Every structure is written in structure tokens, then in C-alpha cells.
Amino acid sequence: MRKTIINTPDAPNPIGPYSQAVQAGDWLFISGQIAINPSSGELNIATIQAETTQVMENLKAILKEAKCTFESVVKTTIFLSDMEIFGTVNEIYGSYFTGEFPARETLAVKTLPKNVNVEISMVAISSK
């Protein structure tokens, strides 16, 4: 099986030794995204709504680069700094999907990169 690195300037550059996404056969594995604005390189964390929206827009850009959509997503993992923000994150996250939702787990963790509140990773079936 061949793997292809997916990278787009419309999502933030990785902040460590990893790729935005890797396509392996028909599978697309998207690394956890945080609320870095790809244009400015700055965190967009003014509110939990803005933070979650930025994360989802970063994921959307990577999906688009891989010729996928949110309908291609089969599994997500959501990491939260606190379960008290679950409702808001869940509402915004859910608005990006139509029809059938992917499988998912949501975890509260002690800390996330750059002390953000939300990080989301995805697995999708690629149509490339």
C-alpha cells in the first residue's frame, strides 16, 4: 500500500514532526487540529465558539485538499480541556455534518498543545 502526504496552505502547518494528513490507499488519516488560523499563524481562541469553528474549518480545508468532504468522515476523536464545553463544541461540530454522523469518542484531557481547549482528529474514506 502506498501512502501520500496531504498538505494545504489553507490549514495550519504542523507544530511538530507530523503531517496534516496521510492518505493510505482509500483511507485518509487527519492529524489533530487546533484553532490556529492558517493565514496569521495565531490562535483563534477568543471564545469556545470561535475556537471550535476554526478547528472545523482547518479540518474542512484538509478534507478538501484530499478531495473529501465531511460526508467522507468515518471516525473522529475530540479532545477537550474540560467537559463543561462539550455542549457548545458538540453543537458546532454537528453543524458541519449532514445525514449520517461518523463514529466518535470525546475525551477530556489534562492539557492540549498550546493550552487550547479543543483538538479534533479524523479518519475518512478518500475518493481520490
Domain count, the chain: 1
Looking up residue 7, the CATH number of its domain turns out to be 3.30.1330.40
Strand 73-80, strand 118-125: pairing: antiparallel
Q: Which helix (H) or strand (E) holds 48?
A: helix 48-65
- Identify the bridge partners of residue 23 per DSSP, sorted by sequence position: 4, 28
How big is the chain by its Cα radius of gyration, in Å?
14
The answer to whether the pTM exceeds 0.85 is yes
pLDDT in tens, the chain (128 residues): 789 999 999 999 999 999 999 999 999 999 999 999 999 999 999 999 999 999 999 999 999 999 999 999 999 999 999 999 999 999 999 999 998 999 999 999 999 999 999 999 999 998 65
- Distance of alpha carbon 118 from alpha carbon 72, whole angstroms: 22
- Distance of alpha carbon 11 from alpha carbon 38, whole angstroms: 5
Domain assignment of residue 54, given as a range: 3-125
